[in-house]
Structure 1
């Protein structure tokens, strides 16, 4: 690969039908280009740009595959992630080599000067893409990310290229200033990505792309500054704190009008045509987009987010079960004096009979419910995991998992947790991060201090099949005197505009759903109006 023509021949022979293998080969070619001797700097930079152009579409396909499969084989997930990180790391090293060679006056450096803004912009983009890939895997984010970002930015500032605008790739929507490219990486890091699902992190990146031109950067803190980034220290940006010592290598950034743009987008969510007219295009449900926008506005606020409750160090063991079926059983076992399988057998037999009468077979939905009732308490205990508690607050726990990574673990999954001497509690994973030793750190929000198991039945119409009662968890000690309530229910239970009969011990109530407060893979939390007591 001595020149552009030979590089193009190699690219033509890449196995484009296999994106994984293709990206691996591109990474290898970039690494060999960086290590090889004898290239004039303009030729080396041009070949690197050509390899980058070729890899752009390929890495996007591989990233989409990574994001699209929530339950892909662990080996495949790890292989895809590693291929993406290695590819972007090789490009970062390649572009840094070119910038360093230019700074040292390498052979042909003058001829590279017209390409400097593009080379520097692509270096920033490669660092940001490597950073994002690490976030999709929940870290740890290498110090090399911040070291490389600072090196590129100091090069840009030294040549006053901050406001130069370039089109990164052939299909880029609009030219972007180098200053905007620099801040994209900083704002993604400042958006608390360890609270987001991988698909949400990807959506955050696209939102940042759309509003990055409105971010502000300065060498001194002012009223618009929310975060500070130290170019001399390889660590992520942090919140600007009043009275902190300021050094010459610090850069101060703030969202400025970007927050206003996000607020406008949030207000326009109920009008898709207005979103399109404003130039935005997001392939995401409105509810998901609204949730991510609220998340960004919260973490980009000029007033730093505060914890509702103080976090205190604590040490102990936490028994953990996951998934709606095990969570439901754990609460039933602890709250009722009889086992749910005994209670439900008659109803389940009737449901099977109805399936056979109506369809001639037992439906998959009924079989799933039967499977959920089949596990005994001892089997459930064997599935439980033991986590080490790090800290505790009134709102939840911080915990460390065993070294082996749980494939089911993700942001938003439902848990039942129990301390050494306590009762079962219901929680949701809110934070997830891996450290340099590959230990898994989890933040768990406990959903309610008081709760009880109740039975819920949809009030059916004459022509509808009677699905019988299902168990749910009431986030309260009792419904007596309440006007509203919240229930943890199996996914798919929420039906707007319909009424439900709720049985709490010997009392029954008529309730009507108001809204779905939260939805997970196998559960939903629904707020209800309590219409009346049926015992009065």
Structure 2
């Protein structure tokens, strides 16, 4: 519809300064979703403004893009805080944001291509070319993050565009040029840094994090990025390699890259791992550096698991599969959450009926450490990472306690969920706080992971907020009383947390 407002020559609304100012002013006060939709409509209209010179085209695109930024930040916050809300609303937020970054990347790429084809008429634009290229690269990085929110798969096209943009900027001599990407962003960046960020992001295994954790990890990567080393030579601490000439994603050095070639690059954590360890110590003491921008205030229990995750994946030897997988085709009955799991392991097995909240999942492979279940993509919308699961293999009478760890979208509108087995011999118990030499009357439900192997230490699953490092607890089992001294909070999930306790048998 918007094409009908102007002719192809000179009547485009954005060509009039007063009209442009009015449009930008209205965008500032519009609702976020509507504003982003309007900006995308103006992007579409620019594709038919053939009479714009490259510099004017870029300036219009730049102003529209900058007007959209605060609205995009609001949409992202709404998406990250939409857990447990409407799946339709969540889908709309995701689609609007992901589509915007794809559209604006294409617009900046068009601008750069116009400048290449009209070198003589683009002299005034040359000074702004590095900014245009950096914004293309940044938009591709945003696409990568939004695809990670939905657990992929990451488009091959995206990796090729990221690599092509990086190599072109390197050849032109401005890949390392620092610049302020947007007026509201104080930190400087460059095309090369954006490409490095994308590769560190991918190698940090985001498919085992929730969307909010992915956002925090992304901000932490930006904070630690100067410590990483991205080089043409393989260093002793290099962990990943990639071929920018072919547009490949990073690959662990466990697989050798072969002969040296121009596009080959190596990635190492450099000093980032040590700096991350220092931050972990600060956060565990309740401190957060003033220059660390996480986009909000987050409690220690939210931030620490993300820091631990990054520490594991930024090691010289990142986590590897410990147990061999075996292909199977079997079904598994599944119950969700702490309460239902506690009921099962207390001996009150629920009936398999719709009202019990049970489901039947198809398992495609197993290992000593867990399972991999398959779903159609529509069912994957409701899958949650970090959810406690109580599982019974079809035909069996034993119950397993597990947690969802990794989500991947597959080809053919399918998705898989990786499930870690927490215990094959879990047992429900009732804990009571022990204060001033006597046991309080407060009952704390727990699930004892009875097959944990550390002598003298018990791992117990509690409802969220149930672990208090300052309060000992006790329980009785087969006539034996146990006094538990809290050691540390090992993990926090959807509605549960796992605490480690020093065990002392008492009379």
TM-score normalized with structure 2 length: 0.88
Task: Tell me which residue corresponds to 1:3.
Answer: 15
Q: Does 1:530 align with 2:503?
A: yes
Task: Tell me which residue corresponds to 2:31.
Answer: 18
Matches within 5 A, 1:77-476: 77-105=90-118, 108-241=121-254, 243-246=256-259, 247-270=261-284, 275-276=289-290, 279-282=291-294, 283-332=297-346, 336=347, 339=348, 376-379=350-353, 383-405=357-379, 408-422=382-396, 423-459=398-434, 466-467=441-442, 469=443, 471-476=445-450
Structure 1: distance between partners of 2:71 and 2:92: 15
Matches within 5 A, 1:35-114: 35-105=48-118, 108-114=121-127
The 3-state SS of whatever aligns with 1:13 is: helix
Structure 1: distance between partners of 2:135 and 2:231: 22
The 3-state SS of whatever aligns with 1:401 is: strand
RMSD between superposed Cα atoms in Å = 2.8
The 3-state SS of whatever aligns with 1:327 is: helix
Task: Tell me which residue corresponds to 1:517.
Answer: 490
Structure 1: distance between partners of 2:357 and 2:455: 36
The 3-state SS of whatever aligns with 1:14 is: helix
Larger deviation: 61-70 or 404-413? 404-413
Seen in structure 2, the aligned counterparts of structure 1 residues 290 and 489 have a Cα distance that, compared at 3 Å, is: closer
Structure 1 position 270, deviation (Å): 4.6
Structure 1: distance between partners of 2:285 and 2:437: 37
Larger deviation: 142-151 or 115-124? 142-151
Structure 1 position 256, deviation (Å): 1.4
Structure 1: distance between partners of 2:32 and 2:85: 17
The 3-state SS of whatever aligns with 2:363 is: strand
Seen in structure 2, the aligned counterparts of structure 1 residues 164 and 264 have a Cα distance that, compared at 3 Å, is: same
Structure 2: distance between partners of 1:434 and 1:269: 33
Seen in structure 2, the aligned counterparts of structure 1 residues 263 and 482 have a Cα distance that, compared at 3 Å, is: closer
CA contact (8 A) 1:41 1:98 kept: yes
Q: Which runs of 5+ in 2 are unaligned?
A: 1-12
CA contact (8 A) 1:219 1:250 kept: yes
Structure 1 position 80, deviation (Å): 0.4
Structure 1 position 61, deviation (Å): 1.0
Seen in structure 2, the aligned counterparts of structure 1 residues 462 and 533 have a Cα distance that, compared at 3 Å, is: closer
Seen in structure 2, the aligned counterparts of structure 1 residues 157 and 8 have a Cα distance that, compared at 3 Å, is: same
Structure 1: distance between partners of 2:502 and 2:233: 52
- Residues 283-337 of structure 1: CA distance to partner in whole angstroms, max 9, x if unpaired? 22234333222211211222242222222322222222111112122323xxx3x
CA contact (8 A) 1:326 1:380 kept: no
Structure 1 position 403, deviation (Å): 4.0
Structure 2: distance between partners of 1:258 and 1:512: 35
Task: Tell me which residue corresponds to 2:3.
Answer: none
Structure 1 position 2, deviation (Å): 4.2
Q: Across the two proteins, how many residue pairs are aligned to each other? A: 490
Task: Tell me which residue corresponds to 1:31.
Answer: 44
CA contact (8 A) 1:487 1:525 kept: yes
- Give 4+ residue runs of structure 1 displaced > 6 Å after superposition: 460-465
Structure 2: distance between partners of 1:216 and 1:478: 39
Structure 1: distance between partners of 2:292 and 2:137: 24
TM-score normalized with structure 1 length: 0.84
